[in-house]
Amino acid sequence: MSRSYVEMGVTSIPVMMSFALSSLLVSMGNYLMMYESGNPQSIMMMMSLISFSMVTMIWFRDSIRDSQVGLYPISFVSNSMMFIGFVIFSEVMVFLGVLWSFSWSMLIPSVWTGFEWPLVGMSFFDPFSLPLLGTSLLISSAVFVTWSHGSSSLKGTMISLLFSILLGSSFVCIQFIEYLSSSFTISSSSFGSCFFVATGLHGLHVIIGLFFLAFSLFRLSRFHNAILDGPIWYWHFVDYVWLLVFTMGYLFPSL
């Protein structure tokens, strides 16, 4: 009897992925709690990130091999898009929680901060300097990734994907420069905590989106099939979330 699903063999990749992701989250939490120069947790965090990336690439490689030998039915594509939709929905819930804490701290300041939000005397980023430039780069990247999806030629798709990756990478660099020049830290009241959690979580999603786009570009450069719908959905999700983060983390405090 024919089946519409794939029966996978025994593999250790999900277990390896769980260990790598757990190690990454634990080391990242320890690094944030014990932030100081020369913190060994930073080395552990980088090693965990490298391990997570390697396991992800191995998983992608095995999935591609299985699809090339015909193990995946046609329904796999629609099921994959449904899975990506659920992932994006879960990420939306995460960001709603972070942005809600931002709103709660802003609308109902704590007695520990003197009923002031943000704290009096804190120096904020000028939203119309580097943050506005980063926003323009990210929106331009979304335009190019949409152009790549609608392009009628392989060359046009690859060029627009490349521009989108370069613009997204520039956005990450600007975020890094902002962190280095920041006059407050993650422990600077509830504003600092909400700001760095929101922007840091978004930056992590941008890096993941860049990885997906780069993987799609690599597949296209080898004249292989690449499903662009999933990465494009994810990239537009990153864009929309940034508009909310930019409004609450940069515009409102400067008013």
pLDDT at 160: 92
Q: For the residues 6-24, what does the mean pLDDT come to?
A: 79
Give percent of the chain above pLDDT 90. 26
What single-letter DSSP state applies at residue 223? T
Task: Give me the sign of the Cα torsion angle 58, 60, 61, 62.
Answer: positive
**Of 48-52, 119-123, 164-168, 192-196, the least confident:** 119-123
pLDDT at 226: 60
Q: Which residue has the higher pLDDT, 76 or 2?
A: 76
pLDDT at 24: 81
Please provide the average confidence, as pLDDT, over all residues in the chain. Answer: 81
CB–CB of 249/195 below 8 Å?
A: yes
Instruction: Please check the confidence at residue 74 and state whether its pLDDT lies above 60.
Output: no
Q: Report yes or no on whether pTM surpasses 0.75.
A: yes
CB–CB of 253/121 below 8 Å?
A: no
CB–CB of 227/215 below 8 Å?
A: no
Question: What's the chain's length in residues?
Answer: 255
Q: Tokens representing 95?
A: 């960001």
Whether the bond between 118 and the residue before it is cis, its omega within 30 degrees of 0, is yes
Instruction: Please check the confidence at residue 136 and state whether its pLDDT lies above 90.
Output: yes
What single-letter DSSP state applies at residue 251? I
Instruction: Please check the confidence at residue 78 and state whether its pLDDT lies above 70.
Output: no
Instruction: Please check the confidence at residue 184 and state whether its pLDDT lies above 90.
Output: no
**Of 20-29, 173-182, 229-238, the least confident:** 20-29
pLDDT tier at 73, thresholds 50, 70, 90? low
Q: Which residue has the higher pLDDT, 42 or 98?
A: 98
pLDDT tier at 1, thresholds 50, 70, 90? very low
pLDDT at 138: 95
Instruction: Please check the confidence at residue 142 and state whether its pLDDT lies above 70.
Output: yes
Give percent of the chain above pLDDT 70. 80
Three-state DSSP class for 189? helix
CB–CB of 6/73 below 8 Å?
A: yes
CB–CB of 105/135 below 8 Å?
A: no
